[in-house]
Chain A
């Protein structure tokens, strides 16, 4: 049970999302992703050639739970660009293939 409005994890997530232009919540690290979906998300970010931050949810149970509530999204990875939720790895791939993701990260905030 958690009250979304008072959960400290949600506040920490909001800070991470606001203070990093491109941030990926993932399982594992860019070098050692612990899940195929996270691995795919990293591969896309590498292809984009942008600077990005990552948060390993496996290292932080509070964030691991909180990130599901933050954007009402049940899975990890989750990508945020300029404070906005973009999607999981499937949406990242679709947007990468259509060129939308390049446009999104390329535009200066």
Chain B
């Protein structure tokens, strides 16, 4: 079952309140999304942990109900994101 972009954003913000969330519906079918999530809380986390934080916010929907979520995470105002 497709999931609304607003619902994805709501869930991410519920866990990461400061997050700046940008969502694109890639195929226009409500089932293939790309999300960019920028949050201070990612500071000090490597990319794996950052993505895991977003997956955790989506409470098990990724890989199930939400098949296709292309994900990009970042910390605000930092030039170097490498761990």
Contacts and interface: CB of A to CB of B under 8 A. Distances in A.
A95 B60 CA distance: 25
Interface in A54-109: 68, 71-75, 85-88, 90-91, 94-95, 98, 100
Contacts of A36: 68
A98 B82 CA distance: 10
Given A87-B51, A91-B47, A37 B68 contact: yes
Contacts of B72: 90, 94
Contacts of A85: 48
Q: Main SS of chain B's interface residues?
A: mixed
Contacts of B68: 36-37
Given A74-B60, A74-B63, A88 B51 contact: yes
Q: Which bracket fits the contact residues of B?
A: 10 to 19
B51 A91 contact: yes
Nearest to B63: A74
A66 to B, nearest CB: 13
Interface in A6-61: 36-37
23 contacts: A36-B68, A37-B68, A68-B63, A73-B51, A73-B52, A73-B55, A74-B55, A74-B60, A74-B63, A74-B64, A86-B48, A87-B48, A87-B51, A88-B51, A90-B51, A90-B70, A90-B72, A91-B47, A91-B48, A91-B51, A94-B72, A95-B47, A100-B82
Interface of A: 36-37, 68, 71-75, 85-88, 90-91, 94-95, 98, 100
